[in-house]
Structure 1
């Protein structure tokens, strides 16, 4: 596959990033005082957001958060590996967010049409995608649960995404800092689903076992 370039030989994808950076620099100059305060003060984000790497799902856009308001962990299929798996990246972010940044709310947000969830539906070549194959195994529990429920085929994808989010909330509780914070009433954990074609967030209610619009839960 040939990389598209402009007349001067610059990769078009890189050029797009450069143009975006140029616009950011203009914004930076307009709001220099704000960005300087970000650089000189300790960060104080309000949420730990564990979401999918999908480029179409942008946490700060969905929540209209300013820089400094979200502490983000993004990976394929918004996975929270259980603490005993030894995954240092996600575990370290969880511990740092709660123990050092004072964050008291954790959101695990999945989304409709998640490719990471769908990945287990097709064979993954171990020679070329071994890391991906091992990672998406974290979605296996949700696939098994939905398969056992024998849902109609058209319902399986969404049901799997939702079940996966619920399993990640369970996995969060395997981290001592989370479990202790929840037990003491200092930490809240939240399962959210972003419905891409509607621009809607749904929230899981553990008491009723149902999903409702996020704004409904607030009401």
Structure 2
């Protein structure tokens, strides 16, 4: 595949990023006091957001969060490896966010049409995509649960995405700092699902096992 370039030989994707940065610099100058405060004060995010790295799902966009409000972990299929897993990145972010930044709410947010969830449906070349193959194994429990429940084919994708989010909430509780915070009433954990076509977030209710619109849960 040939990389598209402009007349001066600059990669068009890089050029787009350069132009975007130029627009940001204008915004930065207009709101310099705000950005200076971000740089000079300790960060105080309100949520630890564990989401998918899908480029179409932008946490700050769908929550309208300002810089400094979300402490984000994004990976394929919004996975939370259990505390005993080989992965250190997610666990380190969890511990840093709760112990050092004072975060008291953790959101695990999946989304409809997640390619990471669907990855197990196709063979993954072990020689070229070994890391991907190992990573998406974290989604296998959700696939197995949905298959065992004999969910109709047309409902299987959404059911698997939902089940996967619920399993990640279970995995969060394998971290001592999370389990202790939840037990003491200092930390809340939340399972959300972003519907890309509707532009809406659904929230999992662990008491009833139901999924409801996020805005419907405001008074509960």
Calculate the aligned-residue CA RMSD, in Å: 0.4
1:71 counterpart residue number: 71
Q: Cα deviation per residue 1:131-158 (whole Å; 9 max; x = unaligned)?
A: 0000000000000000001111000000
Q: What is the SS of the residue equivalent to 2:84?
A: helix
Query: Which 5+ residue runs of structure 1 have no aligned equivalent?
Result: none
Instruction: Please state if 1:112 is matched with 2:112.
Output: yes
Aligned length: 219
Match of 1:11 in 2: 11
Richer in helix (by share): 1
Match of 1:165 in 2: 165
Distance in 1 of aligned mates of 2:16 and 2:55? 15
1:201 paired residue number:
201
Q: What TM-score, normalized to structure 2?
A: 0.99
Q: Distance in 2 between matches of 1:27 and 1:99?
A: 33
Q: Residue 83 of structure 1 aligns to a residue in which SS?
A: coil
- Moved segments of 4+, more than 3 Å: none
In 2: Cα distance, 1:10 partner to 1:86 partner: 40
SS in 2 for 1:110: strand
For the residue of structure 2 that corresponds to 1:43, the secondary structure is: coil
Q: Give the Cα separation in 2 of the matches to 1:62 and 1:81.
A: 25
1:186 maps to 186
Using the size of structure 1 for normalisation, the TM-score is 1.00
